[in-house]
Amino acid sequence: MNKAKEVFDRIQNQYKDVIVIGGDTVVYFNNRILGKPKDKEDAYNTLKELQGNVNYVYSGLTVIIKENNKIIKKNDYTKTTVYMKKMTDEEIEEYIKTGEPMDKAGSYAVQGIGSKFIERIEGSYSSAIGLDIEKLDEILNKV
């Protein structure tokens, strides 16, 4: 991921040993990638589409390590399946009023108020939040 590389490039010469961890998340639904909503109307339309359906959360992970002048870079991702409950128009509007959907891929947060609209999750809960902690632990233990 470019953000992790940019940070690493900026700081690698300032420290003997460095670990940079980067992550990003998108929601995939109906052959489209859903990022953060542009505005409240976009959030409403996205939630209206997702309600009662299944979507997929893809969380990318990059780890860059510099130790003893050796650089190791690992990239990976996790796919998590999210089943959304049906939502009324009023529930969607009230949820948007909280502000939570406005900076979330797919316009919802499984770890916040949006959790009440999640029927179930198959896969990594931490990945659905935005960073697969289990995968990060696996990478760090290997290197």
Annotated active-site positions, please? 24
Q: Is 88 exposed, middle or buried (0-12, 13-18, 19+ CB in 10 A)?
A: exposed
Contact (Cβ atoms closer than 8 angstroms) between residue 82 and residue 52 = no
Count, in order, helices (H) and strands (E) of the chain.
Answer: 5, 5
